[in-house]
Structure 1
Amino acid sequence: RVQLIFNTPRGKGARTDEGRIRAASVLYGVPCITTLPAAEACVRAMEALRSEPMRVQAMQDRFMAGTASIDR
């Protein structure tokens, strides 16, 4: 079963395929990554999940611990 699609089209010929691929990904509920920066971020996230388990922490707890920052 397909669980993730990487499709980084280039050139005019790929446009028709791009639309079909995205439509199929929506129809079947499969995430579709369409840019190289997003693909890189996705791969890094998958690597991080393999090396350490995901931690869930409430935002309030992060702010109270002083580990969150607000960039303005």
Structure 2
Amino acid sequence: MEAARLKALRQYEILDTPAEAAFNRLSRIASLIFETPIALVSLIDKDRQWIKSRVESAPSKGTAISAFLPLPDAK
């Protein structure tokens, strides 16, 4: 499943590309719906996280941010 996700991510050729209005709109909508001062659209590659969009409605000083990263299966 992980290999398929990474393959799909690479096929989109979206990593290392500039910000786009559509992703910024998604970030603004998420910020409004969840009433958060910051919202991100991030893409998780094999070895890194690429932040495609970030919006802030308030200064980030003192703001706590939660990040969700997939962990490899324990074997």
TM over 0.5: no
TM-score interval (norm. to shorter): under 0.3
TM-score, scaled to structure 1: 0.26
Greater RCO structure (CA 8 Å; 6+ sep): 1
Larger proportion of helix? 1
TM-score, scaled to structure 2: 0.25
Larger Rg: 1
